Each structure stands twice: as C-alpha cells, then as structure tokens.
Structure 1
Amino acid sequence: MRQAGEPRPQPAGDWAVCPRCREMIYGPRLARNLRVCPGCGHHHRLTAPERIAQLFDEGSTELLALPVWSGDPLRFTDTKPYAERLEAARTATGLDEAVVLARGTLGAHPVLAAVMDFRFLGGSLGTAVGELITLAAERALSERVPLLIVTASGGARMQEGALSLMQMAKTAQALGDLDRAGILTVSLITDPTYGGVAASFATLCDVIVAEPGARMGFAGPRVIAQTIRQELPEGFQTAEHLLEHGLVDTIRPRAELRETLTRLLAAGSRRIRPDGSPPPAEYSLIRDPGRLPDADVRDTVRRARHLGRPTTLDYIGRLCTGFEELHGDRIGGECPSIVGGPACLDGVPVMVIGTQKGHTVKELRERNFGMATPAGYRKSARLLRMAGKLGLPVITFVDTPGAYPGVEAEEQGQAVVIAENIRLMATLPVPVITLVSGEGGSGGALALAVADRVLVCSHSIYSVISPEGCAAILWNDPAMAPEAAEALRIDAGALLRLGIADAVVTEPAQGAHSDPDLAADHVHAALTSVLAELRALSAAELVAERHARFRAFGAVESFISATEEAMQS
C-alpha cells in the first residue's frame, strides 16, 4: 500500500500500474471502473473535479468560486519559499487551493459539497482550506441544505504555523452551527485523512462514510513509529480497522457511494408522504384490553423467544425503504446487538434503532443474543441525538433478554450508559415510538423504550426481570419460572391494563414466526397510524406528554386504578 506522500500511479501511455497489486491496467478500463483496480479492488485517488463528476447528478453541478486569501503569512522558507510551493501547486493542479466547493443534486437531493484534492500540497489544512470549509458550512446553513465533505489530507500545513492550527477550531465551530440548525452533515473519508483534518471537520459530521482501505488518524504511522517506537498492527488506521472500533459508520466501495449518499440525503430532506394518509390500523392495533383473548403466559414466553420470530432487521427490511445502517459509538466501540440508521416509512424519513438477535445459533452468538454492551447504547444515543437534530421521528424495536452483564460491560459503565440513554429519550423533541417485538428485558429494554407510544406485539413479554431470574431470586428455584411469569404480569394484556403499553399489535394466531409477512403488515399499519398521530404534535407537546406519561407510574391515583384493573382481570 502506498504511503500518504506518494503520487498517484502514472499511466505509461494508455496503461497504469496499480500501486497495491503492481498489475498493469488499461487506462480506459480503469476510468470506466471509477479508478478502482479491477484486480485487487484498490481505490486509486481521485482529483476533486473527478470526484464531483462521479457523485453529482449529471448537469446539476455548479462550482462555487468563493473569495479566500491564500498567501504566505509567515514568509516561510524550508528548502524553498512557501510562496513558490503554492504557485507550483496551482500550476500543477489548475486549482486555487486544496478544496473545491460545489452545489448541485445527488440522487435528486440538493447538497453543498466541499471536496479536498490531495494533489494540492497533500491536501494540507491551511488558512484558505479552513476558510473554504467554513464558507461551505455557512452557505449550507443559509440555504438549509445538507453539507457533504470529502476529505483527503496529510494533516496541517506547517508553513502557516499556528494559523493552520486555528482552522481546526474554526471549522469545528462551523459544524456546530449546522448541528444547532438541524442540518445534515456527511463526511466521506478517502485515503489518506490525517492530522488536523481528522481531528476536526472529518469526524464531526453526523455520518462518516469511508472508502475501502482509506486511512484516517490523528498521527500517521510514520509519526507514531518514529515518535514512540511502537510497532503498529497490520491494517492499522484503515477503514476496516476504524469500522471494527466504532469510529466510522460504514464502508462503501466507490461504485456504491452515490446510492448510499442518496439514502442519507433522503433522511435529511424531511419529505412528507405524498398522500399523507396512513393505512388503516383498526385490524392490527388494540387499545382496549377487553378485546384481547385470554393468554397462556407460558405459551406467550415460548413464542416471544421463538428463533423464527422476526428480528429488528427483518422488520426494517419489510417495512422501510432506503435504510442505511450506521455503526459505532465514535469512541472505539461497535456492538452488533444494536442496529440502527435512517430509513423511510411510507415516504417519511425516520430513525430506526433496535436490538438484534438472530435466527440461528451462529447469528445469536455473533449478536451476543441481543444483549447490548455499553458501545451499543452509546451508538443508540448517537443515533437518537442525530434524529433530534434532523427532526426525524424515532422508531425503536425491542427484543432482548436484557443488557449484557459481563465484567467488561460493567467496567465500561453499563449502568451509566443505560441511564444516559433513558434521560436522552425522555427529552427528544421528536415523535418516539417503541415496539416490543419479542422480549423486553429489564433496563436493557427500557433504554430504548422511553417513548411517546409503547406498543407490544400480542405474543411478546416485557418485565423487570426474566421469569427464570425472578424464580431463582425469590423462590430460590429456577424451575418456578412459569409461576414467576404469571406473577410478574408480563404478557401483552396485563401490560395494556397496567398502562405500560399504549396498544397491542396483533400477531398471527400461532405467533409472528408462523407468518412473518402478515406480522409485518400488522406492525406497518400500527406504526404508520401512531406516527400520524404524533406528527401532529409540536416538540414541546411531545416532550411534555412523554414526561407526564412516565411521571404517572407509581403516582397514587394512577397506581391504584391501574392495579385494581389488572387484578380484576
């Protein structure tokens, strides 16, 4: 793999040499393949104009020539004067600076882009680059369109001294303004992205997409090796390494970037369903406990845990379009037990988040049986904050026996992250709907269920503890789990009578696993109906009513009435 300072491969006539596999590639073929090696998949660097041409809709692009000063503030000279270096870079690239700004559409969605070009002094972050990124953010703010930043940089521009350093704060400030205004920001990480760029605008966007093999870090491998003599692991700082450690949301090959970015931009557009009318929900949504048949709680527990039961990803696949799964907690962790990302439900952009189990023993193990670690709850909190910023309704799916209780989870603050998730959900200024689709276990479930409306599937359960755990603690006998399940009132009917659930979503008679498509139809009707109700409320009304909903649990009046009704049943 070539290092950050190496030039892009030069064609010999109509041929080029891939720097990774060293194979000769026919130039026109490489161009047709978006400058990706057809043999090894290596993503060759693109110029800013090439990148813009690949991403933007044809005929939509307008290059923005915004005035910036790009001079020699320190009168710096190393082996040659900085002014000469600047002039040589301008001559070689045809660019004024290392960033090109463009306005246009991507997948028919308006977007403003700031695209870096590594050819211009290694894409280094100087005063002009910081000014252009800031101007792009300010223009996105004034036009209220999403901002896309494509990064390619070796780090700070040393020839501008501390003035270069100040650009990190300046650009971070500009992205903060977009956060407060609720405008989507997306970062596309290309190889390489280092130093001040990585430690500012590249990693401050709502979503971070990376090309395969792209490297990103604060200090480059050579700096680390020379400074502290530390041996670096293979693949260190590559996109794949970053995804594993929760530092980027997703990796997409160049051929898939337009489709991925289109889905993300759709989430920032807040489009309304064309006809505005949800499908009828009368047949699938029950609010009156009297309409529910008597349930055998033991049978309900068995069905709630059935391996064939639809998972969060199953429901998302059947109900939503344009789902883009996002990964990572951005501080070093990724948990596969919680999945989430933006999607569209009947044309309405939403944020979907849920616990994920699986249908096989292998998948259950890979997903930790749906028991989330602290990284999972930090990831969900990041997505919840993103939803609040962009004004996206939140839909959460809960199917977990509980949060992961291991030693590492405790050391990483499992109790703290659950508490913070609960507090965050309580104040989100957007509609929040929770569907308990299988098991709702303890605080690990509640961390995704502080909602305006809590729906439970008719063969699901929701409890402070599992029946087995309750039996072991109170009866000192795990075999008493069936009796504990009855006593805990964990079935849908009891949850509705107690006010824990706002409504029950009907399932096929034998359970959702017996007909997943029909189960998804019922969930779809229920969610769209409830979402239509909630979208009519203001942010202040949503937060106030959510506060009142949870404030009432345990208050004398509500406690007596709910308990009496539950006991009478």
Structure 2
Amino acid sequence: MSVGEVEVGERSGWLSCAGCRQLVYGKRWTRNLGVCPFCQHHGRLTARARIAGLVDPGSFAEITAPEGAVDPLGFVDSMPYPQRLARARGATGEREAVVGGTATVDGHPVALAVMDFRFLGGSLGTGTGELITRVAEEALARAVPVLLVPASGGARMQEGILSLLQMAKVSQALDRLHEAGLLVVSIVTDPTYGGVAASFATQADVILAEPGARLGFAGPRVIRDTIGQELPLGFQTAEFLREHGLVDLVVDRSRLPEVVGRLLAAAGRTPRAARGHGPVGAAAPAPRPLERPVRPGTDAWAVVQRARALDRPTVRDYAGRICDWFLELHGDRLGADSATMVGGLARIGDRHVVLVGTQKGHSTREVLATNFGMAGPEGYRKAIRLFSLAEKLRLPVVTLVDTPGAYPGLDAERHGQAHTIAASILRLVGLRTPVVSVITGEGGSGGALALAVADRTFMLSNAVYSVISPEGCAAILWSAQDAPRAAAALRLTAPDLLDLGVIDGVVPEPDGGAQRDPDGTAVRLRRTIEDALAALDGVDVQEVVARRRARLRAIGAPGEAAVPPPDGTVPDGERPSVGYLVGPVAR
C-alpha cells in the first residue's frame, strides 16, 4: 500500500512511500507521524491520528451532533446513498468526515474540527457542516480559538444543494467568531479542494499548510482539461501557495504543535487593562526616561549616509534581538507576498505584539530582492492584514521603518500603489489597539508614513524621516549636486524632528552607528518599545484612538507650540498631541 493513503497505527508491515517509492516499515511510519523518513513526504492521516499528534495528551473531549436526514434527495449512483454512507462508516469507524471537540495545545484551550479524507473523500455534507458549526459555537461559548484541519475533495454531490449551502452555514459560524475577536487557524492538508477550499479552509486569520499539501477550487485535471495548458511545476502545492501569498507558513508536521501553541499563546485572553481596554481616561504609569542620546552633529547629509549604510541592522536583525520569539506570517491573500514587508506575531517581554517592518538587506542580492527596502502594493496589503489581526486579537502593533519610500515601478502603479498606501494610513489612524513606531534607518515619504502613524513615534539617533529624499528635493529646487544642502534644509534628522514635535523620543546609537553594536542598540530599542507600550496600558481603546486622532489633528495647526521646553520634557496636560516626550532627551 502507498504511504500516501495508509492509516497510521493500522499497518505494521512494509509500506511504499507515495513520494519516493522507498519501503518504510509500518511502525517507523507511525512513530514518524506519517512522514517518510527518506523524502519527508507527508502522507495522509486519519482524523484521530492528527488530533493525537496535535493536542496535549488526554486533553481531547469529543463533540458530537445528532444525525439529520440520511438521504435527503433519495440519491442513487452505482448504489443508494444510504448504503454508500454505511460503507464509509464501517470502513472508517467514524460517523462523518470530520471529528470535532475541545482540547489544549501547549496548555492553551482550543476547539478543533479535523477532517478525515477516508470518509467519502472528506466531502462536505450536511452532517459535516453541522458538526463544524457546533465546534465553532462551542468555541464562541467558551471564548476560545478554533483550529480547523481540512482534507476534502469538495462538497458532497449525493446531498445536492444542501451540501453546497454548508459552505455558507459554516461561514456564518466563523463570522461570529471573527466578530467576537476569537482566533481562527487553518492547517491545510493534502488534498483540500472545492467547497471546503472556497469556504472555511481559507477563511481563517492564519493559514498554515503541511509540505506538499494541495489546495484549490478546481483540481489540476479539471483545470488542464478546461484551459488546455500544462500547469506550472508544483502548481497548487503549499509551497506554490506560500510564494503567491495565499498561506502564511508551510510547517512540517512535527512542528505544528509548537507553531499552533505560539499562535494560541498570542491570542490568549489576559486582563482587559493589560490589553489597553481599561477605564476611559485611566492614567498611564510614569515611563522611565530614555538614555541621553549623543546628537549626531549638524551635518544632516552625513546622517543620511549613516541611515543608508548597508551594514545597518534590518528589521529581521532587530526581531531576532528584541523579541523573545517571532513567528513570521506571509501573504496578502490576493496572490502575492512581499519580501520587503516583514511581519508576524511576537513576544516582547510579557507582551504579545504584532510586529511589522520594512526589510532592506545587507548584500546586493538581498537589497535587489527587497527593491532596496521599497515595498509594493502587496507589501502594504500584507501590513494592513496584520494590523487587522492585531485589532481583532487586541494586540499592540510595533512597526520598524527603514525604507527610502514605496516602490515606484510599473507593476506597483498598475496594482494600486497609491491606493494601498492610503488604505494603510487610514487603517492605522482608526486602529483600535495601541501602535508604537520606530524609524530605524530611512523614513521616506508616504511609503514610511504608511507604517508610522502611531500613538508613540521614535527614531534611532542616526535615522532620517522626510517628505522626500535630499536628492529628489535638490533635483526639483536646485540641482542634483545640492543634495547635502537639501538634507539640511529638510530638517530630517532625529533631533530636528524632536524639536518639531513630530517624534516622541530618540533611541541612542553608538559612535559609528547601530551596526557597531547591534546588541546594545537592540537593548535600548526594546526598552523604548516596552516603556511606550506600558504608557499605553490601561487606556480604553476608544481613548487610544481619540488621542491618536487629536495628536494628528494638532500637527501643523495654527497656534500649536512647535518646540518643547529646553529641558526636553513636557508637563502633564501640555501639548499632549505634538511631540510628547517620554523622558529627558539631550538637546
């Protein structure tokens, strides 16, 4: 028998791997969770074997549903539908193509529905839809996340239109979970097609996929026969979907409990005050003062050069240093992923956050792959998706910005670059969760602002933030050789912007820049972020949004003070929305 079809725990002889055709001893196959030890092909598992490999031992409690009409259409193909159903039940030992229940994963409670492809090809029938809906309703009642593990060929033909409408029935149940702010995670397994792929399998907040798992609305044979074309290598596989922004992560089966556990930990409910949902007007704790940064000098052009240094730490470098763990998520869900826009779930100290930032790179190959840190529309769509996830889970957002600006290419314009930047700014303006932003290198124009609309904004001491590059400004107003003059005129350094009330503080760098001591810079960056988030704890989200809007409303308004007092502090209640400082900063 092929390993791709074997049932874990039911064979002890030799099996042939469907991927490499090597013989695998049945007990070794079972111990390896159905993964070939030679080629890593992920074979199919029974629903209960999947549950056993995912959840904490002894934690699963099954949910059942009463049986409805067995044969609503009186359908007969080569045999009457009731007879076909009875055969499936006898062969699998299951009542339906899904097993549902509650459990814990790494100690975190979850409700889960796991499909079994052995049962009529994992087809979605009325019994399947009813049980998945009941799992979602149980999750809603318990206020716990939902884990879905689809494996299906599509809707069940023998139940006709009633089967088709299970797509909408389960969708409404998931919509209630989304409204309640409960995380929904899908683990795509092989194969997942048709009505399941076009409904709950892809309606999750986070979509994981096993290596090689295939997902699509129509199967490859149907597509090939319809369009008369050969399909790309690996078409519809998890890896293909990940590359095209349609799944977040491709995860080996052995790592699924760890990854799911981290997702559940980030979505775990903590006291409301710790998530920025305290009483309106609650006082924020007094923040620790920032270290006194060394002013980088008056040569703005030299600061621009330091901000652009190729060896300057990137968002990935900082994520590895300031986060206790970082789980990167991928894709804009519209057919693309961005190498430039990096984001995902993370833990910084005792807080889970959504971290988003622009990536440049250190080598020529890396900066070419990221367009020198300039994101296209797919990058901003990814960021917006992550902002929305943060709002749903009531997690603060941290953005790290290092970009010359948005990518100005033909494809970017064709796919709505201006629209996506505008949408990102608008999403952040009203985002119902705290936002902290740090300009770590270049902050160029609208491409940077699309990530930097925040409750607290900081800059590293050798970073720059400007409406246009010095070269662009000089070319328009003077000549291309006047870029240093333009840099000084634009007042784009951190001390300048602190004076203008645009930012809230400066994170010091060592002499020569952050690259001279990335660990030390990361320590100061992390402390700044933690203090900023602490200052926003206990504030109701409506108040957070109101203060953010008031802060933006005051920028450039007539009569507003533009420069803080000489000691670099702002008294309580004075100029709260323009240049509020978290502590003394050297002038």
Q: What range describes the TM-score normalised by the shorter chain of this pair?
A: over 0.9
Match of 1:228 in 2: 227
Aligned CA RMSD, in angstroms, stands at: 2.5
Match of 2:151 in 1: 152
Q: 1:368 to 1:552 in 2, by over 3 A?
A: same
Match of 2:93 in 1: 94
User: Matched residue of 2:532: which SS?
Assistant: helix
User: In structure 2, what is the Cα distance between the partners aligned to 1:226 and 1:158?
Assistant: 21
Instruction: Please show how residues 38-77 of structure 1 align to structure 2 within 5 Å.
Output: 38-69=37-68, 71-77=70-76
Kindly indicate whether the alpha-carbon contact (under 8 Å) linking 1:278 and 1:525 is maintained by their aligned counterparts in 2.
Answer: no
Deviation (angstroms), 1:9: 7.8
1:107-162, CA deviations, whole angstroms, 9 ceiling, x for partnerless residues? 11111110000011011011111111111111111101110000100001011111
1:284-334, CA deviations, whole angstroms, 9 ceiling, x for partnerless residues? 377xxxx85744312211211112211111111111123110000001011
Match of 2:482 in 1: 480
Q: Which runs of 5+ in 1 are unaligned?
A: none
User: In structure 2, what is the Cα distance between the partners aligned to 1:513 and 1:278?
Assistant: 32
Match of 1:35 in 2: 34
Kindly indicate whether the alpha-carbon contact (under 8 Å) linking 2:238 and 2:247 is maintained by their aligned counterparts in 1.
Answer: yes
Q: 1:468 to 1:125 in 2, by over 3 A?
A: same
User: In structure 2, what is the Cα distance between the partners aligned to 1:307 and 1:271?
Assistant: 40
Instruction: Please show how residues 22-421 of structure 1 align to structure 2 within 5 Å.
Output: 22-69=21-68, 71-271=70-270, 281-284=288-291, 292=295, 294-421=297-424
Q: Which runs of 5+ in 2 are unaligned?
A: 276-283, 567-577, 579-586
Match of 2:583 in 1: none
User: Matched residue of 1:324: which SS?
Assistant: strand
Kindly indicate whether the alpha-carbon contact (under 8 Å) linking 1:285 and 1:526 is maintained by their aligned counterparts in 2.
Answer: no
User: In structure 2, what is the Cα distance between the partners aligned to 1:547 and 1:275?
Assistant: 22
User: Matched residue of 2:86: which SS?
Assistant: helix
User: In structure 2, what is the Cα distance between the partners aligned to 1:28 and 1:124?
Assistant: 29
Kindly indicate whether the alpha-carbon contact (under 8 Å) linking 1:240 and 1:251 is maintained by their aligned counterparts in 2.
Answer: yes
Kindly indicate whether the alpha-carbon contact (under 8 Å) linking 1:279 and 1:525 is maintained by their aligned counterparts in 2.
Answer: no
Q: 1:48 to 1:454 in 2, by over 3 A?
A: same
Instruction: State how many pairs are aligned.
Output: 558
Q: 1:147 to 1:554 in 2, by over 3 A?
A: same
| Range with bigger deviation, 298-307 or 444-453 | 298-307
Q: 1:349 to 1:67 in 2, by over 3 A?
A: farther
Deviation (angstroms), 1:8: 3.8
1:325-362, CA deviations, whole angstroms, 9 ceiling, x for partnerless residues? 00000010111100101111112111000001111122
User: Matched residue of 1:359: which SS?
Assistant: coil
User: In structure 2, what is the Cα distance between the partners aligned to 1:315 and 1:561?
Assistant: 32
| Range with bigger deviation, 86-95 or 501-510 | 501-510
Kindly indicate whether the alpha-carbon contact (under 8 Å) linking 1:52 and 1:115 is maintained by their aligned counterparts in 2.
Answer: yes
Deviation (angstroms), 1:209: 0.2
1:446-484, CA deviations, whole angstroms, 9 ceiling, x for partnerless residues? 000111111111110000011111111111x22211110
Kindly indicate whether the alpha-carbon contact (under 8 Å) linking 2:7 and 2:46 is maintained by their aligned counterparts in 1.
Answer: no
Q: 1:63 to 1:453 in 2, by over 3 A?
A: same
User: In structure 2, what is the Cα distance between the partners aligned to 1:261 and 1:311?
Assistant: 27
Kindly indicate whether the alpha-carbon contact (under 8 Å) linking 1:273 and 1:346 is maintained by their aligned counterparts in 2.
Answer: no
Match of 2:544 in 1: 542
Kindly indicate whether the alpha-carbon contact (under 8 Å) linking 2:296 and 2:461 is maintained by their aligned counterparts in 1.
Answer: no
Instruction: Please show how residues 513-552 of structure 1 align to structure 2 within 5 Å.
Output: 513-552=515-554
Q: AA paired with 2:492?
A: I
Kindly indicate whether the alpha-carbon contact (under 8 Å) linking 2:354 and 2:396 is maintained by their aligned counterparts in 1.
Answer: yes
User: Matched residue of 1:160: which SS?
Assistant: helix
Deviation (angstroms), 1:422: 0.4
Match of 1:494 in 2: 496
Q: Does 1:556 align with 2:558?
A: yes
User: In structure 1, what is the Cα distance between the partners aligned to 2:52 and 2:460?
Assistant: 48
User: Matched residue of 2:451: which SS?
Assistant: coil
TM-score normalised per structure 1 = 0.94
Q: AA paired with 1:284?
A: E
User: In structure 1, what is the Cα distance between the partners aligned to 2:96 and 2:55?
Assistant: 21
Match of 2:569 in 1: none
Q: 1:263 to 1:563 in 2, by over 3 A?
A: closer
User: Matched residue of 1:153: which SS?
Assistant: coil
TM-score normalised per structure 2 = 0.91
User: Matched residue of 2:481: which SS?
Assistant: helix
Deviation (angstroms), 1:31: 1.4
User: In structure 2, what is the Cα distance between the partners aligned to 1:50 and 1:334?
Assistant: 33
Kindly indicate whether the alpha-carbon contact (under 8 Å) linking 1:455 and 1:505 is maintained by their aligned counterparts in 2.
Answer: yes
User: Matched residue of 2:50: which SS?
Assistant: helix
Q: 1:273 to 1:303 in 2, by over 3 A?
A: farther
1:214-262, CA deviations, whole angstroms, 9 ceiling, x for partnerless residues? 0000111122223333322221100011011100001011111111111
User: In structure 1, what is the Cα distance between the partners aligned to 2:72 and 2:307?
Assistant: 68
Q: AA paired with 1:541?
A: E
Deviation (angstroms), 1:526: 0.5
Tell me the percent identity: 55
Q: AA paired with 1:482?
A: P
User: Matched residue of 1:21: which SS?
Assistant: coil
Deviation (angstroms), 1:69: 2.3
Deviation (angstroms), 1:102: 2.1
Q: AA paired with 1:166?
A: L
Kindly indicate whether the alpha-carbon contact (under 8 Å) linking 1:68 and 1:132 is maintained by their aligned counterparts in 2.
Answer: no
Q: AA paired with 1:176?
A: D
